[in-house]
A and B are shown apart, each in its own frame.
Chain A
Amino acid sequence: MSAFVIFAILFALLFTGMPISIALGLTVLAFLALVSSLSLETIAIVSQKLFTGLDNFVIMSIPLFVLSGAFLSAGGAARRIIRFATTLVGWMHGGLAMAAVLSCAFFAAISGSSPATVVAIGSIMLPAMVEQGYTKKFSVGVLATSGGLGILIPPSIVLVVYGVSTSESIGKLFIAGIVPGIVMALALLAVTYGVARRYDFPTLPRASLGEVWRAFREAAWGLVLGVVVIGGIYGGLFTPTEAAAVSAVYAFFVAVFVYRELPLRKVPQVLLEAANMSAMLLYIITNSILFSFLLTTENIPQQLAQWIIDQGLSPWMFLLFVNVLLFFAGDFMEPSSIILILAPLFLPVAVQLGIDPVHLGIIMTINMELGMITPPVGLNLYVASGLAKMGLTEVTRAAAPWILVVTVVLLLVTYVPAISLWLPNLLYSRP
């Protein structure tokens, strides 16, 4: 009953268009004021949660990953990564489009956000592709979709958010994202190649080995970051938060002193933009901690888990339900909010059905990628439409065929757990 009331309030507030974070917080206040007796104790707990909710070292990796991404974007890492990717695959059919997909995959390995990946790669690649004669529609579709790799290939802010809300190991989640990320990248490359062959898209001259090597050396300054983060966390050199801090300082160093594309006087602007983005994420997190505190005190995750178990759902039916629900949720909200609201609800059921929490995290993340290219609230679509100066409806149509590709990969990863679990189980099962 209280579950119904809580979600009714939440939905009513959400659809007025108020910020998601405010809607979450007001739901808690309204429920406490209207339904449960508003004791002084609960008020004290609520006001304490507003602070202690963030008093968590793992959460602090989020602003740090945002910051390191901001430095890399401003520092010209994207351009060098694109040049390297182009020397690798440019000679194939649809060379520039292939390079765009590969660049997104590389950039995803040093950045934890999808829209940031679309902006970094898209702002350079989109004009280049259009100039080479690709249709705007095709270019935008490729870029908006490949940018989604940003939250799957580690480091990933969405995976950190999942780890925080389910107390799952960030290191394990990151490692679990690697193989599905590669599978997704290969699928996108294969489809791009197929389309390019069929329509005979242009190729670029083959780069000599020397050129590949030179491009690699330039790009390596940025690319090494991904290795440091994942290797460092896995090797026990540092915690995820420390890894994020190291990568932020490193990214600053590369942007300002190695690539020299970010003058020192512009550093405060980068800091401010990163602070803005991360404060927004942290604000949603604070309020959803409040919200899930309410759900737990009302015992809702357990009740829901029991109810679903009683329906006799098999694991695959439950996962299909998760896929479909997230598909629709992803059409209306941005990833972090969805994960924060739904992961604590799904987790108890998944655990009872014998689904690995790490696997669930990867499924949810790919589902979020799908949401980002599906209208009406596809974050990547918004970003791409801004870059391409195209209307949202047009961009939506451009991304439509790609939704199919991502869906196929999503189903594959959902029903073949080994794709996500093989690597982390291999690495983390020490005798």
Chain B
Amino acid sequence: MLDRILDRLEEALIASFLAAATLVIFLSVLHRYSLGVSWLWPYTGRISFTWAQELAIYLFIWMAKFGAAYGVRTGIHVGVDVLVRRLPPRRQRFFIQFSLAAGAFFTFVVAALGLRFVLFIHDSGQVSPDLELPMWIVYLAVPLGSGLMCYRFLQVLVRYRRTGVQPSHHYGAAP
């Protein structure tokens, strides 16, 4: 149940961040060109889009960090599996579990490093140049995203041990 809420939350988050970032960049382009139109001045002249690029980058980074976790669940992170595929099933099982564990280990280390970094930035009181957002909130994407990714690797590992299936992504499975 909790897992299902987490799944939907993750999906909603990355889809809307991607959409929002795209719109922000699009609107800033539109705004820049509308400034050349004199009769629009009363409407557009007052709005400033200097923050747009920064906001878009932050949205994309958040999308990327959480999307990477979603990707573990959908099996989109591919590796070089030509050798492993030729092994006898027992050894193959070992390597698949090893890879998943390695993924969990790496993302855990990154989450820990990221958390340390967030705490460090928090103490420095740094804010972003245009939006003046506290930087530690922005950087929170690293520990949160990587932490979630670690959880996903463990989840896939547990499921693989239980059922012997791991998710695999197919091109063209899109609607």
Show the binding face of A for B, using Cβ within 8 Å: 13-23, 25-26, 29, 43-44, 46-48, 50-51, 54-57, 60, 63-64, 67, 70, 73-74, 115-116, 118-119, 123, 238, 241-242, 245-246, 248-249, 262, 266, 268-280, 282-283, 286, 332-334, 376-377, 382-383, 386-387
Contact check, A280 vs B76: say whether CB atoms are below 8 A apart: yes
Q: Which residues of A contact B99 (CB under 8 A)?
A: 16-19, 22
What's the nearest-Cβ distance from chain A to residue B127, in Å?
15
Give the nearest-CB partner of A23 in chain B.
Answer: B79
On whether A269 and B60 interact (CB within 8 A), knowing A21-B77, A51-B141, A246-B29, the answer reads no
A282 contacts B80, CB within 8 Å?
no
The answer for the CA separation of A248 and B60 in the assembled complex, in Å, is: 15
Residues of B near A29 (CB, < 8 A) are: 106, 109
Within 8 A of A (CB), among B41-67: 53, 56-57, 60-61, 63-67
A283–B77 contact, CB under 8 A? yes
Contact A271 B64 (CB under 8 A): no
Q: Are A19 and B83 in contact (CB under 8 A)?
A: no
> Which residue of B70, B95, B98, B175 is within 8 Å of A275 (Cβ)?
B70
For window 78-117 of B, CB contacts with A under 8 Å fall at: 78-85, 95-96, 98-99, 102-103, 105-107, 109-110, 113-114, 116-117
Pairwise interchain contact A17-B174, C-beta atoms closer than 8 A? no
The reply on B25 being an interface residue by CB < 8 A is yes
Partner of A44, one of B23, B82, B117, B141: B117
Contacting pair B61 A51 (CB below 8 A): yes
Residues of A with C-beta under 8 A to B25: 60, 64, 241-242, 245
Inter-chain contacts of A268 with B (CB < 8 A): 15
User: Is B21 on the interface with A (CB-CB < 8 A)?
Assistant: yes
| Count of A-B contacts judged by CB separation below 8 Å | 203
Q: Known pairs A16-B98, A268-B15, A280-B77. 11 more at Cβ < 8 A?
A: A17-B85, A19-B79, A57-B57, A60-B56, A63-B63, A67-B22, A241-B25, A242-B25, A272-B11, A282-B64, A386-B172
Verify if B157 is at the interface (C-beta below 8 Å from A). Answer: no
- Chain A residues within 8 Å of B139, by CB: 51
For the complex formed, measure the closest distance between the CB of B143 and the CB atoms of chain A, giving whole angstroms.
9
Task: Determine whether the beta carbon of B102 is less than 8 Å from that of A13.
Answer: yes
Query: Given A275-B14, A276-B74 in contact, is the A47-B114 Cβ separation under 8 Å?
Result: yes
B57/A387 in contact, CB under 8 A: no
Whether the pair B57, A55 counts as a contact (CB closer than 8 A) is yes
Please measure, in the bound complex, the distance between the C-alpha atom of A275 and the C-alpha atom of B18, giving whole angstroms. Answer: 7
- Complex Cα–Cα for A246 and B28 (A): 10
From residue A60, how far is it (CB to closest CB) to chain B in Å? 5
* 0/1 interface trace, chain B 108-132, chain A, CB 8 Å (1 if under): 0110011011001000000000000
Among B61, B84, B117, which residue has its beta carbon within 8 angstroms of that of A54?
B61
Digit string of B139-175 for contact with A (CB within 8 Å is 1, else 0)? Answer: 1011000100000000000000000000001111111
Q: Which of A25, A246, A276 contacts B71 (CB 8 A)?
A: A276
Give how many B residues have a beta carbon under 8 Å from the other chain's beta carbons: 66
Q: Known contacts A47-B114, A51-B142, A269-B174; decide if A60 and B77 are in contact (CB<8 Å).
A: no
A136 to B96, CA, bound (A): 34
Which residue of chain B has its CB nearest to the CB of A11? B80
Q: Which residue of A lies closest to B23 (CB)?
A: A249
Residues of B near A26 (CB, < 8 A) are 102, 105-106
Residues of A within 8 A of B57 (CB): 54-57, 60
Cβ of B15: which chain A residues have Cβ within 8 Å of it?
A: 268, 271-272, 275
Whether a CB of chain A sits under 8 angstroms from the CB of B19 is yes
A22 touches B106 (CB 8 A): yes
What are 30 sample pairs from A and B whose C-beta atoms fall under 8 A apart? A13-B102, A14-B79, A17-B79, A19-B99, A20-B79, A22-B77, A22-B99, A22-B102, A23-B79, A26-B105, A51-B114, A51-B142, A60-B56, A63-B63, A118-B171, A238-B29, A249-B26, A266-B175, A270-B174, A271-B16, A272-B11, A273-B174, A273-B175, A276-B67, A276-B74, A279-B64, A282-B67, A332-B82, A377-B80, A382-B171
Could you say which of A15, A74, A115 contacts B80, with CB atoms under 8 Å apart? A15
A242: chain B residues at CB < 8 Å are 25, 28-29
- CB-based contact A18/B103 at 8 Å: yes
A272 touches B14 (CB 8 A): yes
- Whether the Cβ atoms of B26 and A246 lie closer than 8 Å is yes
Residues of B within 8 A of A48 (CB): 117
Distance in angstroms from A228 CB to nearest chain B CB is 12
Q: In the complex, which residue of chain B has the Cβ closest to the Cβ of A55?
A: B57
The answer to whether A245 and B29 touch across the interface, beta carbons within 8 angstroms, is yes
Residue pair B141, A279 in contact (C-beta under 8 Å): no
Known: A44-B117, A280-B77. A55 touches B61 (CB 8 A): yes
With a cutoff of 8 Å between Cβ atoms, the chain A residues found around residue B29 in the complex are 238, 242, 245-246
A283 proximity list for chain B (CB < 8 A): 64, 67-68, 71, 77
Kindly identify which residue among B17, B96, B171 contacts A116, using a CB–CB cutoff of 8 Å. Answer: B171
Task: Kindly list chain A residues whose C-beta atoms are within 8 Å of the C-beta of B80.
Answer: 14-15, 17, 20, 332-333, 377
Q: Which residues of B contact A272 (CB under 8 A)?
A: 11, 14-15, 70
